[in-house]
Amino acid sequence: MLNKETMESYLEGYTFVIELPVIWGDMDAFQHVNNTVYFRYFESVRMAYFEKLGFWDFMQQTGIGPILASPQCRFKIPLTYPDQVTVGTKIRDPAGRSIRNGLRGFSHRHQKIAAHGDGLIVSYDYRELAKTPLPDELKKRIVEDQR
């Protein structure tokens, strides 16, 4: 049974969260969720958060959007089916050409963090095919959402 207080304390400061099911087919021959799936959990929350901030509309208009430069994950406990994972994200240091994306996945079954990670997101001009400074408009959206 989900203890919301426990989950909220583990995800404190994570400004955007989604809930995902652990799927039977995501388990591997070692009978736990394969390590690559954790990166998909992180990708799912990151993309949903960017959608909330309007990054995709901004990218359609300007050609400037995010690109993942360096993902990292620290695995804490193995996940198995059945379970639910609440995945949280927060943006740190929106400056220059990049932002840091903090990530955490909380197991409902185990009542603890299953994995945590970090992603370096670079501002990229898809029309020029080059890194570019993070636009002020996107910085503003991130800062306002963090309040």
For tokens 């932002």, the residue is 99
Cα Rg of the chain, angstroms: 16
Tens of pLDDT along 69-100?
Answer: 999 999 999 999 999 999 999 987 777 788 98
Q: Model's pTM, two decimal places?
A: 0.92
Cβ partners under 8 Å of residue 46, min gap 6: 68, 89, 101, 103, 119, 121
Q: Identify the pLDDT of residue 4.
A: 83
CB 58 within 8 A of CB 135: yes
- For the chain, the structural domain boundaries read 4-146
Fold exhibited by the domain 4-146? Thiol Ester Dehydrase; Chain A (3.10.129)
pLDDT-based confidence at residue 1 (cuts at 50, 70, 90): low
CB 57 within 8 A of CB 51: no
